[in-house]
Structure 1
Amino acid sequence: MGQGDAVIIGVGSFSVDLPEGEELPLMTRTWDALDFVEDVVPRIGKAIGQLGYRVRCHLNPVREDLRGVMQPADEGAVHRIVHVVTHGQPDARHARLDMVPADGRFGRDTDVTGWISDCHVERRMSLFLVDLCGSGVAARLPSYVYEAGAETYAWVISASDGEEEAYDGRFSTAIAEVLEDLAATGLRTDASQEHVDFQLVARHIGMRLESAGGRVQTVRATLMDPSAPKPLLPFFPNPTHAAFATDPTRLRRAALDAPVRDFLEELDPVDSRHFTDKPGRHFTGRRSQLRLLAPWLDDPEESRLCVVTGSPGTGKSALLGALMCAAHPQLVGQAQHIRERLPGACRPALQDVLAAIQVRQRSLPSVVDALARQLQLPTPSSGWTPLTFMAAVRSLPEPPVLVVDGP
């Protein structure tokens, strides 16, 4: 699938090489072995690989081995995932977090917060999965608390909050379990979404970690500005989307003009799960209204103005959608099943000159353009305005039917 790069770094064995005859200085910190690392690193690598990433695993690297590890293996990869599991060493001000390499030596190449900052400066979309003690520091850097949004390039899900410890690789195990589920089910994400939501994945990891029991360990993730639109992050491809994207029905509908397609989607969306709580997929009822509207649509001698009113949620759009699916020349071929459900007196004839639009979230110029396209009117050199559109409609040999579904 060519989703991007993935770098997996795990350290479970620690030793310091000293010249012969030298001893460790007093107060030098030593690190306990992490026996679980050799199990979780390959599992994480496999789980991320199932999402289509090119995975590079680094097991028990010393500091020198980490030099250049953040450089992309594939220059064509547009984003990446970095997972690190080892001991963590936050500084006293909680402004920096180092991963502990196998030789216990720190430097720029072990500075996880530096990796994150570099990604943001380089504008390289990256997700960091940080399984270190005190790793909440990485998810709460001041520069990301207020800036996370469409222009943020470095994202973090971390194993613990502030000075909390991270225990026994439980966070890495939770990640592996969630990504395995994601690769199989998309975490029940709607098939119309190309990617699984970042926040949803973070919540699932937190829930898995909580269900594992043991000592408290708080998953933290990059904060988002709730007033800004949610960014579309590319890290977790939705496996159910591929079938949706190539569905023959959806491809046929894609050829329809979007304002016309809206009427069909109102009654019969391609993604049935989107529709489970709506009645329109099996449109029934409203026969008295249909018996009034179908003859009006068919009879050119009828009054040319008809208004459908009702309280919000009473089914005005579904009613108009049923009429359009039965009468609009672009919709009838793809909505025969809807037309057949309408009893004879409720079923309008196919209209040769009909333009329809749902105006929700559309500007007036886009509404006029859409109606003109459906009527196959030649576009003026200066573009359409309401006045030039009305003049063009009046010049038609036969008065068209215009159906406008309001907000």
Structure 2
Amino acid sequence: MGDATPGGADPSRALLMGVSRFAPAVAEGEEPLPGVHGWDELPFVPDLMSRLEQAYSKLAYDVTAVREPDRKTVRRSWTDASEEQYRIVHVISHGTTMPAGRGRTKAAEGSERLAMVPSCGDTGVGTDVSLWVQEANGLPHPMLFLVDLCRAGRTARIAQLAQIPDDQLHAWVIAATSPDRAAYDGAFSTAVAEVLEEIAANGLDTSPLLRYVRWDRVTSAIQLRLSEINSRQKVHSTKVDTSQPLELPFFANPNWVSDPRLERLQAVEPPVRAFVADLGAEHFMDRVGDHFVGRTRQLAELAPWVDDPACGGLRVVTGAPGSGKSALLGSLVCAGHEEIVRAAPDIRKHLAAQQPDGVPSPNPMLAAIHARNRDLEAVVTSLALQWRLAGRDTGSAEPWTVPDLIEALALLPAVPPLIFDALDEADDPVDLMQRLLLPLVEGVRPDGQPIVRLLVGTRRGTRFQPLLGQAARRGTLLDLDDVPVDELRADLAHHLVLRLAGLPDYCDASRRSVRTTLAQTIAATLTKDPRATQEWGPFLVARIYGRALETLEAPADVEAAEELGASVPLTLPGVLELDLSLHPEGPRLRAVLAAVAWAKGEGFPTDAVVCVAPEFDPEVGDHNVRMLLEAGRFYLRTGVESDGSTLYRLFHQGLADYLKALPYSTGGPE
């Protein structure tokens, strides 16, 4: 917000003007003219001015607060603000549609004119807020007006500005009320102050990916608070196309984390971007190292398959929740999909350094779909876009269909690969399998080759038998629960050693034998009886146990490490309950995670968690939900809502299934 701006502009400044006392309408001893009345005092203005000045200051604005200005001071203050290109102008006073003089007819008023009444009562030259807004649109940089006057909506509905595209408009207005209604008791400015204070505290829960709090997020929050204070008023603001989010530089997001890589990833197609959604802005590469681990033999087998157009048409990866399906497919996508490689090349470099034979080559024809909460139309549209398919008018509004897709694929110069993960988490998995995946498997090009090389990740289940059966008959079904124990044990130990080496109690050179023994013992325990971990997958259990080890007392020697490693829970419920028991807010944290478990699509916003979590623990409230979401960050992944707010979901569907079934710490409500 304090960035230097060319042309003499000062984007860190705000003008705040408020009037509470007004000169009488007639001089002492004179008779008032018919229809001429004085202006009532506004006793709430002084306190509001002080509160707003502090609120804007918390957002790093240098505030020029002008109290009780007469007309000349109002005019001079606006001139200074416009010449120095302040970012914000906020006014509180009476408002009138009579811009100048006495006795003017209605026809002379001007339907869009609104004057701020100064302390002298003279609404002459320099007090026309509507004119300020028009002048501001000619300035080089955007300016925001917050207008707490009666009939303030006139400033937000200026006809000559209404046709200007959002990205070219430089005058923005949030007005206290409609064009023909009164504003009451500073309710609007009170609501604005509350929202500004909340922005300073939590950014209105705006995603760390966004530098500024979005326009519709701010205006909606102001209206919500205004409705609570005074139901008679309704905010009128500059209309925007919310389907095309616009970054307006008025309210800096305190949550913002500068990471050009993540900003680039936001431009990647959502069904592709989902493969890196687990990798948050903070500790990005640490999560890469923690997430894409193990399954070295399978990676070495699948990476050449992704590269070779002559390979067969179908492969399926299955296994229990937490067996590593998504990590396996995610490694291939992040190393081979050109959009991700372009946006985050360090992921590919990390994976290649770990296992050179396990990364496919960057491939412009590799398409990827993470099917969680997606339907057939969304998937087909994304595939057509990723493959840049031709064969229809670019301006056509008709959605792509599966026959369209197959017809266009048959004309490509080579057979493209498609990595399709989380089939079982799609909106309608069976429909996707029957109407898209099976036709893709059966499709044949004119040269006799398959139209795609398809790699699918899904849980087992009778409903997927047509797909699993085809892969089994072709010898291309890879069951991650059916691998040699020694191989699985080595992959788990490798993962755990890396995890422990990053913890303060284990990273010292003198602790090498302890962390190695602990990792090997945990891996041996989790693979001792495959039936014990078949339902949940040892990688998921090991990953959560690694979090619990951050809190558990570190073993003093190798013998203690063996004892601790042998005590690892063998199931997701067991390890989750252990971790929650180690947290001082365990029951409340469980309630928040259970609430997030019900999220669909990209996730729940904070407001939804606030509403749902108390159903599972009444001690969860507005005051501690954000703290609990932060405490449970290990279990959470985030997305961005259209209004810029952060969305939360659990990092694994197995966790969601368990917490939806058992959301209460004590087994149920009293």
TM-score past 0.5 threshold: yes
The residue correspondences of 1:289-300 to structure 2 (distance < 5 A) are 293-294=302-303, 296=305
1:6 match: secondary structure: strand
Distance 1:221 1:318 in 2: 46
Of 175-184 and 88-97, deviating more is 88-97
Larger Rg: 2
Matching of residue 113 in structure 1 with residue 92 in structure 2:
no
Tell me: CA distance 1:171–1:356, structure 2 relative to 1, closer, same or farther (3 Å). same
Deviation at 1:265, TM superposition (A): 7.0
Tell me: CA distance 1:221–1:334, structure 2 relative to 1, closer, same or farther (3 Å). farther
One-letter identity of the residue aligned with 1:6: A
Tell me which of 228, 243, 246 is aligned to 1:231: 246
One-letter identity of the residue aligned with 2:146: L
**Deviation string, structure 1 residues 314-353 (Cα, Å, up to 9, x no partner):** xx997653225579995355459xx99xxxxxx87255x8
Which structure is higher in helix share?
2
Tell me which of 93, 97, 103 is aligned to 1:90: 97
- What is residue 276 of structure 2 aligned with on the other side? 267
Deviation at 1:69, TM superposition (A): 1.1
**Deviation string, structure 1 residues 67-117 (Cα, Å, up to 9, x no partner):** 22123469776x511100111102444210001100100122110001000
**How well do the aligned residues superpose, as a CA RMSD in angstroms?**
4.3
Distance 1:186 1:403 in 2: 42
Distance 2:78 2:191 in 1: 24
The residue correspondences of 1:8-407 to structure 2 (distance < 5 A) are 8-16=16-24, 24-72=32-80, 80-91=87-98, 92=106, 93-212=110-229, 214-225=230-241, 229-241=244-256, 244-245=257-258, 250=259, 266-271=275-280, 293-294=302-303, 296=305, 304-305=310-311, 320-325=329-334, 330-331=346-347, 334=350, 349-350=357-358, 354-356=361-363
Alpha-carbon contact 1:148-1:223 (below 8 Å) kept: no
Tell me: CA distance 1:95–1:263, structure 2 relative to 1, closer, same or farther (3 Å). closer
1:234 match: secondary structure: coil
Distance 1:254 1:199 in 2: 21
Alpha-carbon contact 1:295-1:348 (below 8 Å) kept: no
One-letter identity of the residue aligned with 1:224: V
Tell me: CA distance 1:318–1:155, structure 2 relative to 1, closer, same or farther (3 Å). farther
Tell me: CA distance 1:88–1:48, structure 2 relative to 1, closer, same or farther (3 Å). same
Distance 1:240 1:253 in 2: 14
1:57 match: secondary structure: strand
Tell me: CA distance 1:303–1:58, structure 2 relative to 1, closer, same or farther (3 Å). closer
Tell me: CA distance 1:51–1:163, structure 2 relative to 1, closer, same or farther (3 Å). same
Distance 2:351 2:361 in 1: 16
Deviation at 1:303, TM superposition (A): 6.3
Deviation at 1:146, TM superposition (A): 2.8
Distance 1:110 1:321 in 2: 60
Tell me: CA distance 1:331–1:403, structure 2 relative to 1, closer, same or farther (3 Å). farther
Alpha-carbon contact 2:16-2:64 (below 8 Å) kept: yes
Alpha-carbon contact 1:294-1:323 (below 8 Å) kept: yes
**Deviation string, structure 1 residues 107-157 (Cα, Å, up to 9, x no partner):** 221100010001112344110000111111111111233325111110000
One-letter identity of the residue aligned with 1:199: D
1:15 match: secondary structure: coil
One-letter identity of the residue aligned with 1:168: D
Q: How many residues were matched structurally? A: 336
Deviation at 1:293, TM superposition (A): 1.6
- What is residue 378 of structure 2 aligned with on the other side? none
2:191 match: secondary structure: helix
One-letter identity of the residue aligned with 1:223: K
Tell me: CA distance 1:355–1:196, structure 2 relative to 1, closer, same or farther (3 Å). same
**Deviation string, structure 1 residues 231-264 (Cα, Å, up to 9, x no partner):** 32110110010xx21xxxx5788999x99xx978
One-letter identity of the residue aligned with 1:60: E
Distance 1:253 1:163 in 2: 46
1:185 match: secondary structure: helix
Alpha-carbon contact 2:96-2:151 (below 8 Å) kept: yes
Structure 2 length normalisation: TM-score? Answer: 0.43
Tell me: CA distance 1:99–1:362, structure 2 relative to 1, closer, same or farther (3 Å). farther
One-letter identity of the residue aligned with 2:48: V
Distance 2:176 2:92 in 1: 10
- What is residue 369 of structure 1 aligned with on the other side? none
One-letter identity of the residue aligned with 1:222: T
One-letter identity of the residue aligned with 1:191: P
Deviation at 1:66, TM superposition (A): 1.5
One-letter identity of the residue aligned with 2:224: M
One-letter identity of the residue aligned with 2:93: T
Deviation at 1:296, TM superposition (A): 3.5
1:128 match: secondary structure: strand
Unaligned runs of 5+ residues in structure 1 are: 274-280, 311-315, 341-346, 365-389, 391-401
Identity of aligned residues (%): 35
1:235 match: secondary structure: coil
The one of the two structures with greater contact order (alpha-carbon pairs below 8 A, sep at least 6) is 1
Distance 1:333 1:162 in 2: 59
Unaligned runs of 5+ residues in structure 2 are: 3-10, 99-105, 283-289, 317-324, 368-381, 389-412, 421-670
Distance 2:326 2:80 in 1: 50
- What is residue 502 of structure 2 aligned with on the other side? none
Tell me: CA distance 1:112–1:297, structure 2 relative to 1, closer, same or farther (3 Å). closer
Deviation at 1:54, TM superposition (A): 1.4
Of 168-177 and 45-54, deviating more is 45-54
Alpha-carbon contact 1:119-1:154 (below 8 Å) kept: yes
Alpha-carbon contact 1:90-1:98 (below 8 Å) kept: yes
One-letter identity of the residue aligned with 1:232: E
**Deviation string, structure 1 residues 7-32 (Cα, Å, up to 9, x no partner):** 00100001149778655544322000
Deviation at 1:297, TM superposition (A): 6.2
Distance 1:362 1:75 in 2: 48
